[in-house]
Chains A and B, each alone.
Chain A
Amino acid sequence: MHGWKGRRLRLDLTNRTYEIEPLSVDYYKKWIGGRGFNSDVVYHETYQGMDPLDPESPLCFGSGPLAGTFAPLSGRTTVSCRSPMTCSNMDTGIHGHGDTNMGGAFGPFMKYAGFDQIIVKGKADKPVWVFIDDDKVSFRDASHLWGVGAKKATIKIQEELGDPDVKVSLIGPAGENLVRYACILNNFSSSGGRTGMGCVMGSKNLKAIAVRGTKPITIARPDEFAKLAWALRDKVHNSPSAIRRKAEGSMDLFDVGNAIGINAHRNASTGFMPGIEETYGGLQWAEQFLFRRKACWSCPVACGRYTLIKEGKYAGFSCGGPEMESVCNLGCRIDTYDVAAVNVLCGMVNDLGMDSVSAGAALSWTMEAFEKGYITEQDTGGIRLEWGDTETSMKVIEMIARREGFGDLLAEGNIRVAEKLGVGQDIVPHCRGLEHISVDPRITMGFSLGYAMSTRGSDHLKNYSCVEFPGCAKSRSYQVEEIFGPEGAKKFWEDFPKELNELDTKPVLCTWSEKNKCVADLVSCCCQAIGSWGGAGTWQEAYYPLLAAATGIDLTPEEVFQSAERVINIERAHWLRDGSGIQDDTHIDRYFDEGVHDGPFKGMVIDREKWAWAQQEYYKTHGWDELGFITEDKARELKIEDILPDMESGKKIIRQWLDSDKKAVTPMFVPTGLRK
């Protein structure tokens, strides 16, 4: 087998055993790669109502056919499991699919060791770490690593093995203490942050997985593959957006976002932060803090940062990162201009092993709750969080990771905090329990629809497309026809430029982008290269030829695209099985009622009527029914008929809830007529 390795590894932590499972070509054709294998396993090896922290719940690391090859941008790894963080808005006890995609080099090394996927099940009786040395697997005592930060623990493991080239995926103290939004890190600071994968790893008493691999990845048609890889590399080398990304990192998006007024400022209540040129500006940031760039495996761009604070109160502090999302959520979102402190916060969050978005959201929710008078010092054990208070924030972050005092509550994630305290449900900006990233959903409707429809809770990495921005649509005009078809493209250009906050074109756009990005995840390539900076083109230009040359498999682009659709549907089915459908594909009331406070789009809200239309339209483009459920025809077309009984039982849960007068956890817009 070429490109793929043909095997996966199953670890059983309870009995400390492992099993190597060969996989058939048909299986690869069906699921293609990392995210596909993971979603299949996570769906089929869990059941309705399963506790995500149940020892038998599988935690999967998956990599795709291009991971670890000469193909550029191919260092990504997907980690998936039933998420402890995300939940339905009917009931925070209802969970669903969760996954996260991390850079670094863990996926490539899994493949060098001979595995396309690692599945972890069971629970060790005491902390362990696992060393995978090609086909040999050993379970080792991790008591000396428990409670140690990510960076130090990685160094300790590498020292213990006497090999600095071993790749380590691990959790920080937050994961050990079951913070619901704990992350998994590899290569020191490349983190898979969202949906609480670290929490699941911690619940299994697994501190780290270290991999050493000595087996090469073979290529079906090496000469053709090399030519194609060079062509894509040349394209990236010459892409102006890649060159900008190299210089500024993802911080190049901060200025743009702020200028339009979409950065989630003050708990995502406003979108605009005045006077940021001297602080958050992309080049300014690089000049102040960038020590040296770092790259994921086989990526020529190197948008990764390594920060060194040169002067001031925090002089000498260094850390991997931060990227724009961390900066925005731990800076802009809590309304601070103290950028050095933001770097420290980002570094802390990484080392403690937490999702920077949810951690920032926890801080900003508390700040707004204080401002609105929802909570007082009595609720927080004497701590008072005001807007922009970075020093107290650092203290609180530490408390969350250690689950001390008020931090123990915040570690549950905003929706559960609000539910337990009984206040502030209206100011939790979330979809399916996962807080929004740093873009305000009231302005750019692509993000808005993307958040609500994503298969892992609020998220832009699953289905967002920049084509909704007029500038981007122009520079990627050739994509427009592919997305909307000849007729639709004609109409698109007639109406151009459509306002960002028009929903009209978004269902089609998001559906197309969803499959596009899914293919990137499947083959283990960077979805930003075909998304946010987009220098690589569409997946079909960038990754499909490489996929065919590497694996030598006779899949047409349409078949690959259909595999992507299958993966999206099985992830969706995971949610539907537990009864999370239409009532969760929406936003909190705040975004329909309260206008943006500031910036060029002041006063903007989401229109309820249009939203209900877009929701239905989105289902239609996917071939789902009016409750957002996968239809029998669709399931048969995608050869996933086995989900059909689950759809029926999921529908029962949703109908029961819609017919009852049980309140939603947070006030959210459910289209009229659905509930009595």
Chain B
Amino acid sequence: MTLRQEKVIVIDPSKCVGCHSCEMACAMKHFGVCHPHYSRIRIQEFREVNTFVPVTCQACEDAACIKVCPMNARIRLESGAVVTDEEKCIGCRACVYACPFGAPVIHPENGKTMSCDLCMDDELGPWCVKACTMQQALKFVDARDAARAKGRDFAAMLKEQNEPPHQDDADFSFSFSVE
């Protein structure tokens, strides 16, 4: 098995504000209507503590849904996205149960499953990511950088916590050298 070269959607729940714009964008893109059930990305709300978790297909390297599907209906596209072939799908939901995130969702009209296709080759990129421009809870990054970005964020947080106060005194080095 080799590392894929494609781009993936990475999520950062700590930045999600629960506006559901991504859901609206997804439903609009794929169905031309507006309703969260028509979206392939779902925001799981814990509004009592103001915590929101975007759940969407992570296009896993070693995808459980592909393995478990009795009809071989879960297929990987060239873009790296894992989607359901509706012709083959029988709506048994095995992929939902096998997925550690429960990411595949039920098509509200035909009962089959559906999951993120990264908006295929839309020039705007994945609509959900674009809808999250301001909050940056969703990002569309190179698969190889997916982990690096998170690591970098964490490191930056540590840096901020342990940084000495800023030295704005420009004369500091000068006075040092004089001594």
- The residues of A with any CB-CB pair to B shorter than 8 Å are 68-70, 72, 75, 105, 112, 151, 154-155, 164-165, 187-188, 213-219, 222-223, 225-226, 229-230, 233, 236-237, 242-243, 246, 291-302, 304, 306, 318, 320
Contacts and interface: CB of A to CB of B under 8 A. Distances in A.
A293 B17 contact: yes
Contact of B34 (A214, A217, A237, A295): A217
A320 B47 CA distance: 9
B51 interface: yes
Contact of B48 (A68, A188, A293, A296): A188
Contacts of B17: 292-295, 302, 304
A238 to B, nearest CB: 9
A237 B133 contact: yes
B35 A70 contact: no
A292 to B, nearest CB: 5
B35 A112 contact: yes
Contact of A216 (B18, B33, B130): B33
Contact of A306 (B34, B50, B130): B50
B28 A222 contact: yes
B178 interface: no
Contacts of A112: 35
Q: Which 8 A-B pairs have the closest CB atoms?
A: A295-B19, A222-B32, A216-B35, A306-B50, A216-B33, A302-B17, A70-B24, A295-B17
Contacts of A72: 21
A300 B37 contact: no
Given A69-B34, A300-B131, A300-B135, A164 B45 contact: yes
B20 A298 contact: yes
Candidate in B34, B35, B50 with the most chain A CB atoms within 10 angstroms? B34
Contacts of B158: none
Contacts of B25: 70
Contacts of B31: 216
A304 B131 CA distance: 18
A186 to B, nearest CB: 11
B134 A229 contact: no
Contacts of A296: 19
A292 B14 contact: yes
Nearest to A187: B47
Interface of B: 14, 17-21, 24-25, 27-29, 31-38, 45-51, 108, 124, 130-135
A299 B32 contact: no
A218 B34 CA distance: 7
A302 B19 contact: yes
15 contacts: A69-B24, A154-B48, A155-B48, A164-B46, A219-B28, A219-B33, A226-B29, A226-B32, A233-B21, A233-B133, A237-B134, A294-B50, A298-B24, A300-B135, A302-B135
A219 B131 CA distance: 19
Given A242-B134, A292-B50, 10 more contacts: A69-B24, A69-B34, A70-B24, A151-B48, A187-B47, A229-B28, A237-B134, A295-B19, A296-B19, A302-B134
B133 A216 contact: no
B61 to A, nearest CB: 31
Given A237-B133, A320-B50, A218 B33 contact: yes
Contacts of B130: 230, 233
A218 B33 CA distance: 5
Contacts, number: 107
B21 A300 contact: yes
A292 B46 CA distance: 13
B133 A297 contact: no
Contacts of B134: 236-237, 242-243, 246, 300-302
A230 B124 contact: yes
Given A291-B50, A294-B50, A70 B27 contact: yes
B26 to A, nearest CB: 9
A296 B18 CA distance: 8
Contacts of B132: 300
Contacts of A215: 35
Contacts of A301: 134
Given A165-B45, A295-B18, A299-B19, A217 B50 contact: no
A297 B131 CA distance: 13
Given A70-B25, A294-B50, A320-B50, A300 B35 contact: no
A187 B43 CA distance: 15
A586 B27 CA distance: 49
A320 B130 CA distance: 27
Candidate in B28, B108, B124 with the most chain A CB atoms within 10 angstroms? B28
Nearest to A105: B20
Contacts of A164: 45-47
Contacts of A216: 27, 31, 33-35, 37-38, 108
B86 to A, nearest CB: 19
A294 B18 CA distance: 6
Contacts of B14: 292
B123 to A, nearest CB: 11
Contacts of A300: 19, 21, 131-135
A188 B51 CA distance: 13
Contacts of A70: 21, 24-25, 27-28, 34
Nearest to B46: A164
B108 A297 contact: no
Contacts of A236: 134
B19 A297 contact: yes
Contacts of A297: 19-20
Contact of A299 (B21, B28, B50, B133): B21
A300 B38 CA distance: 20
A214 B50 contact: no
A301 B18 CA distance: 11
Candidate in A215, A218, A294, A318 with the most chain B CB atoms within 10 angstroms? A294
A112 to B, nearest CB: 6
Nearest to A69: B34
B34 A68 contact: yes
Contacts of A105: 20
Nearest to A305: B50
A522 B143 CA distance: 44
A187 B46 CA distance: 11
B28 A226 contact: yes
A373 B62 CA distance: 77
Contacts of B33: 216-219, 222
Contacts of A291: 50
Contacts of A304: 17
Nearest to A3: B34
Nearest to A68: B34
Contacts of B108: 214, 216
A112 B34 CA distance: 9
B66 to A, nearest CB: 29
A75 B38 CA distance: 18
Candidate in A225, A300, A320 with the most chain B CB atoms within 10 angstroms? A300
Contacts of A187: 47
A222 B130 CA distance: 18
A304 B135 CA distance: 13
Nearest to B32: A222
Candidate in A69, A70, A236 with the most chain B CB atoms within 10 angstroms? A70
Given A187-B47, A294-B50, A300-B19, A219 B135 contact: no
